[in-house]
């Protein structure tokens, strides 16, 4: 089939951006959005033009690198699916696709479809890690964790850090991302020892770098890892718990 692609072009962070219009023919419906960009780049290179810069790595939906905005939707039209798995089968021959970067104030454009998601890294540096001195590795059964608790922690740990939740949020909030980290670590024995310090540090970064959460719920709909909306509640829950502990 033949598709028209309106793709965002921007030479650098300080350069003005614009949409370019290209027609790409011979596209199979089973191909993904990224494979459409591959075909477009082959066409541009063959004509001597500059290819479109975009990120991708595993193309298996687990690395979080591939995020773009398609027709105003973070990753694409299908909910909870990363860009590399968004198929073109839902588009009719002759359709127009508008492809641009993940749009968020915290994600400045680096070039074309590539954005700087370093603000998410700042959240991880603030509290998305474990710094407890545990000494030598304990025995596997020294700190038992129930199956239900362990599975719940793994569900929240599934976040791939793609940033779609931030781009999908009208406020540019990162509470789904932050909440998934807080919940994951609070449910496990050793990480929970730093629970109070962690939430204070993470919330400070959230308020400085991202917008406020208004519970729109768009973040959970865009999340390719299926992080539930309850992760947002974890941010306020952990903050309240830390405040109560400081008063005791």
Which option is the CATH number for 117-247: 1.10.1060.10, 3.40.190.290, 2.40.40.20, 3.30.70.1450? 1.10.1060.10
- Provide the CATH topology of domain 3-111: Ubiquitin-like (UB roll) (3.10.20)
Q: What is the largest CA-CA distance in the chain?
A: 69
Q: Where in the chain is the domain with CATH 1.10.1060.10?
A: 117-247
One pLDDT digit (tens) per residue for the chain, 248 residues: 999 999 999 999 999 999 999 999 999 999 999 999 999 999 999 999 999 999 999 999 999 999 999 999 999 999 999 999 999 999 999 999 999 999 999 999 999 999 999 999 999 999 998 887 767 766 767 788 899 999 999 999 999 999 999 999 999 999 999 999 999 999 998 888 888 999 999 999 999 999 999 999 999 999 999 999 999 998 988 888 877 666 55
Pinpoint the residues of the chain covered by CATH 3.10.20.30: 3-111
Q: Select from 2, 30, 5 the least CA-distant residue to 96.
A: 5
Instruction: Report phi then psi at 107, rounded to 5.
Output: -115, 80
Q: Taking the model in full, what pTM does it have? A: 0.92
């Amino acid at each position: 089939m033949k598709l028209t692609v309106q793709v965002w072009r921007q030479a650098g962070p300080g350069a003005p951006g614009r949409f370019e219009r290209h027609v790409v023919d011979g596209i199979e419906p089973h191909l993904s959005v990224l494979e459409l960009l591959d075909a477009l780049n082959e066409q541009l290179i063959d004509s001597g033009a500059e290819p479109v810069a975009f990120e991708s790595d595993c193309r298996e939906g687990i690395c979080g690198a591939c995020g773009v905005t398609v027709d105003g939707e973070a990753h694409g039209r299908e909910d909870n699916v990363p860009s590399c798995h968004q198929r073109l089968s839902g588009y009719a021959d002759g359709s127009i696709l508008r492809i641009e970067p993940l749009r968020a104030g915290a994600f400045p454009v680096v070039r074309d479809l590539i954005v700087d998601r370093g603000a998410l890294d700042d959240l991880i540096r603030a509290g998305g890690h474990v710094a407890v001195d545990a000494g030598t590795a304990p025995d596997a059964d020294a700190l038992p964790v129930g199956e239900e608790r362990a599975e719940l922690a793994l569900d929240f740990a599934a976040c791939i850090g793609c940033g779609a939740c931030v781009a999908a949020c009208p406020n540019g909030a990162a509470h789904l991302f932050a909440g998934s980290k807080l919940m994951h670590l609070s449910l496990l024995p050793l990480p929970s020892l730093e629970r109070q310090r962690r939430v204070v540090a993470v919330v400070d970064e959230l308020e400085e770098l991202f917008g406020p959460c208004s519970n729109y719920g768009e973040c959970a709909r865009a999340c390719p890892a299926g992080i539930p909306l309850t992760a947002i509640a974890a941010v306020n829950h952990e903050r309240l718990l830390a405040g109560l502990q400081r008063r005791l």
